[in-house]
A and B are shown apart, each in its own frame.
Chain A
Amino acid sequence: MSLSIKDHEIDIVIGALRSDLTSFMSEWRPIFSRFHLIIVKDPDLKEELKIPEGFNLDVYKKPDIDCVVGTSTSTIFSGYSCRYFGYLVSRKKYIISVDDDCYPAKDNKGILVDAVAQHITNLTTPATPFFFNTLYDPFTEGADFVRGYPFSLRSGVQCALSCGLWLNLADYDAPTQALKPEERNSRYVDAVLTVPARSLMPISGINIAFNREVIGPALLPSLRLGGEGKFRWETMEDIWSGMCVKVACDHLGLGVKTGMPYVWRNDRGDAIASLRKEWEGVKLMEEVVPFFQSVRLPREATTTEDCVAEVANVVKEQLGSKDPIFARAAKAMVDWVMLWKSVGSSTSSPGA
């Protein structure tokens, strides 16, 4: 962990889609216990949350969410999107968010991976989006920029988002997992790399961290599938949000890293059942990707909120007529920016 980062600058936000968090919290205790946690209960979850003792945490349930944003707005936080409420109310500089069916992983040497430490390292060392370094993250111990890397680009840019990966159950879509029901990810790739500028990627919400001060408003609940469910196979909300984040980062000159840390994602759900129920998301990506690849934000968009508002505009103009889901997403983005401005827009000052 970087010495310049204080534990109190970090919030760990967990969206609880299952009520019994006992084993989840116990497994993560060695890594989480020193930090403040925000646990947001999926407003649709009926059972009481079971959370073990000994953590410094705040728990938000439907009544709390209703109180902060109003009962009509609180529906945007249903399902996996409940974690966005945590991002909204946090006042810390860095947020780390992991799905509640993920546990700490072990690296190739059998050592437990401190996902929080790795995410923080990723966020607090520069990203290098303008030129690809073939030895991956040049700021990692034992690595550097290779021959041919321009010196003017070696100071890099601020890293706004750190996308981690998953051992065991990888983040595949339902058709892929259904086709290969036994496939599990056992490959631990010992690398972090910056995703180049103007390259888009599917940013999974399962294991991420970000600098809330710099990019907070761009992580947002907006694209909700008609059949959205309580398994990641039945959602695209994070993928959509991730596209917005990457476009905003590219425009604002911020970096996005991918790779370590890994978490261990437990087997859960049935890909075939999900596929029968929900494949709209897979179809939508055919529109979504070329759309985001073509988005160019104007010079005047100088803040993350500006970027989100601009993207919302373009979504409405270009995609709104193709499918009402996009028109709704655009509106949700505009509403989110207003919500962020009224509820979410401050951070505790460093050193407080």
Chain B
Amino acid sequence: MVEPATATQAAAPVMPQLKDELDIVIPTIRNLDFLEMWRPFFQPYHLIIVQDGDPSKTIKVPPGFDYELYNRNDINKILGPKASCISFKDSACRCFGYMVSKKKYIFTIDDDCFVAKDPSGKAVNALEQHIKNLQCPSTPFFFNTLYDPFREGADFVRGYPFSLREGVPTAVSHGLWLNIPDYDAPTQLVKPLERNTRFVDAVLTIPKGTLFPMCGMNLAFDRDLIGPAMYFGLMGDGQPIGRYDDMWAGWCIKVICDHLGLGVKTGLPYIYHSKASNPFVNLRKEYKGIFWQEEIIPFFQQAVLPKDCTTVQKCYVELAKQVKEKLSKVDPYFDKLADAMVTWIKAWDELNPPTAGSVPNGKAA
């Protein structure tokens, strides 16, 4: 049986790295009690809380945290008509937090995620591991059989060309979950008691050309490198689909990262996922996605971005165009989504105007 770390274990003193360069984005609809567990690790950082659901409800933030909080009214006020691209009644609204952040790095976590323990019983400092992942290069062009070669105690194996050992910048760090695994509704229904107790002590780069299901529960990214592509789509209220926000973003960012020569890592750190959502509710939300993903995935696998897409925004707008052209026939929803993707980029650029002398945030591979 796997258990979360208790508060005392989690209170190990740490030197907070990048505390002025990283924002923690948390979507919530209920309360933020879980922050008490994370206090020793999170308190030095600025939090961006995106309150979903009823804006008249007050979300209590535990004392001692430095935060800004946005509810639906705030989102509407800040974005005006462009607020239509931000989901309502779905944790996809968290991407608003990415947009308003002014920091280089984002770490996002769900409010039912707690501190995990490693096999030795020590509390896992997820934030520290994500930062390590993001600050060390990725190796997407050739698979290293000993996983992340930049980790202590590892290296590139025999046969790994030296010209590829410098790696590329890491744009995304995708963490995993002990206890309740991130299964879809059908799997949850078939295996309601399955718990992830396997602590896999590895970080690895997802190879170029390979897509993956990106989960937003425990995710960090370099906002400068990939931020504009982290749109979590149209989900929830008034939409035909839910629980595909992070998936959609994951497919988009991977295509763009592959195009721009950026890396995506997965593996450590683990968090402890405590709450299993209701599988019947999930099924209702996901059910269209389960059919649609059969079309969506070949679309992303075959997507090619032109060489002149040298920034994330250009790549994203081009992708939106292709979504409209090729996926609208699957369902009119994709037509709306493609429009929302463009709206998102416009909103992003408005809230994040380029500073004088800034350079494009990427180059075509």
Contacts and interface: CB of A to CB of B under 8 A. Distances in A.
A189 interface: yes
A150 interface: yes
A146 B196 CA distance: 11
Interface stretch (A30-38, A67-75, A163-171): A163-171
A233 B200 CA distance: 29
Nearest to A195: B143
Interface in A253-283: 258, 282
Interface stretch (B16-24, B93-101, B145-153): B145-153
Contact of B184 (A147, A190, A202, A282): A147
A240 to B, nearest CB: 9
Interface string B39-72: 0000000000000000000000000000000000
Most central of B176, B181, B286 by chain A CB within 10 Å? B181
Given A165-B145, A187-B153, A289-B164, A148 B213 contact: yes
A342 interface: no
A294 interface: no
B144 A201 contact: yes
B269 to A, nearest CB: 13
B189 to A, nearest CB: 12
Contacts of B250: 148
A202 B157 CA distance: 7
B145 A190 contact: no
Interface string A113-151: 000000000000000000111111000101111111111
Given A134-B266, A148-B293, A150-B297, A236 B198 contact: no
Contacts of A204: 145, 157-159
A258 B204 CA distance: 13
B240 interface: no
Given A150-B293, A170-B157, A172-B157, A108 B119 contact: yes
Given A108-B119, A201-B142, A258-B145, A186 B153 contact: yes
A239 interface: yes
A285 interface: yes
Interface string B190-221: 01001111111110001111111111000000
A152 interface: yes
B341 to A, nearest CB: 18
A171 B157 contact: yes
Contact of B201 (A143, A144, A148, A187): A187
A37 B300 CA distance: 47
A66 to B, nearest CB: 31
A203 B146 CA distance: 11
Contacts of B214: 148
A241 to B, nearest CB: 11
Given A132-B211, A204-B145, A147 B182 contact: yes
A277 to B, nearest CB: 15
Contact of A147 (B119, B154, B158, B215): B215
B297 to A, nearest CB: 5
A152 B294 contact: yes
B163 A145 contact: no
Contacts of A136: 200
Chain A interface residue bracket vs B: 35 or more
A200 interface: yes
A350 B134 CA distance: 50
Interface string A150-187: 11100000000001010000111100100010010111
Given A143-B196, A236-B159, A282-B162, A148 B184 contact: yes
Nearest to B213: A148
Given A135-B181, A148-B293, A202-B160, A183 B201 contact: no
Contacts of A133: 212-213
A286 B194 contact: no
B119 A176 contact: no
B235 to A, nearest CB: 13
Contact of A191 (B142, B154, B200): B200
Given A186-B153, A285-B159, A201 B143 contact: yes
A233 B191 CA distance: 47
A335 to B, nearest CB: 24
A29 interface: no
B159 A189 contact: no
Contacts of B259: none
Interface in A297-337: none
Contacts of B202: 187, 189, 191
B163 to A, nearest CB: 6
B159 A188 contact: no
Contacts of B31: none
A134 B156 CA distance: 22
A185 B215 CA distance: 30
A132 B212 contact: yes
Contacts of B158: 171-173, 176, 202, 204, 232-233, 236, 239
Nearest to A151: B290
Given A150-B294, A204-B158, A165 B146 contact: yes
A306 B145 CA distance: 28
B130 interface: no
A185 B166 CA distance: 21
B200 A190 contact: yes
B84 interface: no
Contacts of B244: 148
Interface string A196-214: 1111111110000000000
A183 B146 CA distance: 14
B183 A147 contact: yes
Given A134-B174, A239-B159, 11 more contacts: A142-B195, A148-B244, A148-B293, A165-B146, A172-B157, A189-B147, A189-B202, A196-B206, A198-B209, A200-B143, A201-B144
19 contacts: A132-B210, A132-B211, A135-B196, A143-B196, A144-B183, A146-B181, A148-B184, A150-B294, A150-B297, A172-B155, A173-B158, A173-B160, A185-B146, A185-B153, A185-B154, A196-B143, A198-B207, A202-B142, A286-B161
Lowest 8 A-B CB distances belong to which pairs? A202-B159, A148-B213, A201-B143, A239-B159, A199-B207, A132-B212, A196-B210, A173-B158
